[in-house]
Amino acid sequence: MELLKIKAKLRESAGNGPARVLRRMGEIPAVIYGPGKDTNLLSITIKDLEDILKKAKVGQAILNIEIQNGALHTRTAMIKELQIHPVSRELLHVDFYEISMDRKIKVKIPVVTKGIAKGIDFGGMLQIIKREIEILCLPVGIPESIEIDITDLNIGDSIHVNDLVLPQGVEIPDDVNYTIVTVLTTKSEEKAVGEEGEDATVEAPAKQETKSAAKE
């Protein structure tokens, strides 16, 4: 993954007043911190940050932050939190989390489905349970997404996190085998099964199995 450069300046003042002054000057307040690292107050140019966000997603971008304070020194970090005004969508504040390029980190990446589930042809409905999953990998090995082939999913079938084929060096940090996607029975199909069960009691066990599969 490409390392993106952004310039920053150390700042001494905190609070709403100094923050408003920075924004009028085309800058926003920022902070950088990390394990065993000093926390520093920064300011960055809004345009520079907007350019970064056009190239990479929050939580995935790896930045070389060039901090100017007389001497120039660089710290490698990721965007930990980005505050945006809910109405104007104005950038308000950014938190940078310093990382080490040789140590694995936890990041969230999107899940992308491939194909059309065959259960849809039989009246099923695809439900995406997790649109993002958390992975553990080196900063240079962060994938843009995880692709899942759903072509063979029938009604009642699911794909769990343990079923995923992960890129080399990528692992799932949790032991819980949670569901990513599933194909559910639609209401019209459930109604049809129910009516059939009322007419023929011999089909009742099959009806129960269908409901059970839809819940898995």
If you write DSSP's letter for every residue of 141-156 in order, what string do you get?
G--S-EEEE-TT--TT
CATH 3.10.20.30 fits 105-184, yes or no: no
Q: What is the pLDDT of residue 129?
A: 95
Q: What is the pLDDT of residue 176?
A: 85
Residues 200 and 216: beta-carbon distance below 8 Å: no
Q: Which residues of the chain are in CATH 2.40.240.10 domains?
A: 3-98
Q: Which of 64, 73, 185, 165 is nearest to 122 (CA)?
A: 185
Residue 211, pLDDT > 90, answer no
User: Where is average pLDDT lowest: 46-50, 79-83, 185-189?
Assistant: 185-189
- CATH number belonging to domain 3-98: 2.40.240.10
Instruction: Name the strand (E) or helix (H) holding 109.
Output: strand 105-114
Residues 91 and 22: beta-carbon distance below 8 Å: no
Q: Which residues of the chain are in CATH 2.170.120.20 domains?
A: 105-184
Q: What is the pLDDT of residue 66?
A: 92
21 falls in which pLDDT band (50, 70, 90)?
A: confident
pLDDT for 137-183, tens place per residue? Answer: 999 889 889 999 999 999 999 999 999 999 999 999 888 899 999 99
Report pTM.
Answer: 0.70
pLDDT for 51-76, tens place per residue? Answer: 999 888 887 889 999 998 766 788 99
Q: Can you tell me the distance from the alpha carbon of 178 to that of 160, in angstroms, rounded to the nearest whole number?
A: 6
1 falls in which pLDDT band (50, 70, 90)?
A: low
